[in-house]
Amino acid sequence: MKAEGGPKQIAVIKLGALGDVVQALGPMQAIRTHHPLDRITLVTTPPYAAFLRASGLFDAVWEDGRVRTLGAFLRFAARWRRARFDRVYDLQTSSRSSSYLWLLWPQHPQWSGVAFLSSHPHANPGRVAMHTVDRQAEQLAMAGIPATPSADLSFAKADLTGLALPPRYAVLVPGGSAHRPAKRWPVAQFGALARWLSAQGVTPVIIGAGAERALAEAIRLQAPEAIDLTDRTDLMAIAALGRGATLAIGNDTGPMHLLAAAGAPSLVLFSAESDPARCAPRGKSVSVLQVADLSSLSLDKVTAEIVLPR
């Protein structure tokens, strides 16, 4: 039996995706501040586990929050029940994460989220129209946590000396969701932007992964001086790049959230496919440029939004 008045067992659920994980860092910090002596377990997925362990906000990190086979689900359910959590903060608020409440039937912990019979529901019918950060801050306020800070990425450190970065560089993020191509500014325009940045004395640095290497190669055909870091940056390195960048420019995609939160002056390009009022990156200096169709967005309109420090 747990000793009366002893540390509570707290769970935080955040499964993904990258942009959502970054935007949950402030709420996660608020939870840690509210439960300084309690044991907090994060339930997440493998792509984000190491990054979030390094945050120092959690006493344990589970990577099996999104299982895909019956056997894995049964193992997760047994582990979930054995943990005997006193309170759960569901920052995913999906049908999947809400269902985890019912795995604990009939002994429900206190629950902050949108699951049926939550003890601390986010009882705002307009919640889906709110920006992710504001929505989660309000959810926590309704659970008794009144203040949510901005994301603090000071924990995210990486040695970038092997990348041979110049003093002034701009991070370009030409990729994004492969199944939503309308969220991408044409790669030819990124190439023209890279040439323009070089002419201003700022070296373009391209990040991406996997099939996005082709985007970097296309950009370097127009701007050979650009540095291609495709598949050479993990989440820690992207945050470190953002901390030292003169500028970050990219599509509405996860790495832009990380760069912006790390402090990079950021310009994020949006089409009609997503709503910046609900999901734009947050950071010290973030600008949004939205047009209905990114294929119609001219280089001149983008460069007009850029203010480079002298």
Of 142, 170, 195, which residue constitutes the final position of a domain?
142
In a domain, 87, yes or no: yes
Alpha helices in the chain (DSSP H): 18-23, 25-34, 46-54, 70-83, 95-99, 132-142, 187-199, 213-222, 235-244, 254-262, 276-279, 299-303
In a domain, 310, yes or no: no
Is residue 299 located within the same domain as residue 168? yes
Is residue 86 located within the same domain as residue 185? no
Q: pLDDT at position 3, please?
A: 43
Q: pLDDT at position 221, please?
A: 98
Q: In what order do the strands lie in the sheet with 120-121?
A: 60-62, 39-43, 9-13, 87-90, 110-113, 120-121
Distance of CA 228 to the CA centre of its chain: 22
pLDDT along the chain (310 residues), means of 10: 71 97 98 98 98 98 94 96 97 97 91 97 97 98 98 97 96 94 97 98 97 97 98 98 98 98 98 97 97 98 93
Of 99, 114, 142, which residue constitutes the final position of a domain?
142
Of 142, 170, 186, which residue constitutes the final position of a domain?
142
Output the six-digit token pair for 255. 């790495």
In a domain, 148, yes or no: no
Is residue 206 located within the same domain as residue 282? yes
Is residue 137 located within the same domain as residue 187? no
Q: pLDDT at position 186, please?
A: 98
Query: What backbone phi and psi angles, to 5 degrees, belong to 307?
Result: -120, 110
Domain with residue 68: its CATH number is 3.40.50.2000
Residue among 221, 227, 270 nearest 245 (CA):
227
CB 192 within 8 A of CB 185: no
Output the six-digit token pair for 192. 């023209």
Q: pLDDT at position 6, please?
A: 79
Cβ-based neighbour number of residue 254 at 10 Å: 23
Overall number of domains in the chain? 2
In a domain, 111, yes or no: yes
Spell out the residues 6+ positions from residue 160 whose beta carbon is closer than 8 angstroms to its own: 237, 240, 241, 244
In a domain, 79, yes or no: yes
Query: Which residues of 80-178 form beta strands (DSSP E)?
Result: 87-90, 110-113, 120-121, 169-173
In a domain, 151, yes or no: no
Identify the domain containing residue 112 by its residue range.
9-142
> DSSP letter at 5?
T
Q: pLDDT at position 105, please?
A: 87
Output the six-digit token pair for 128. 């889906």
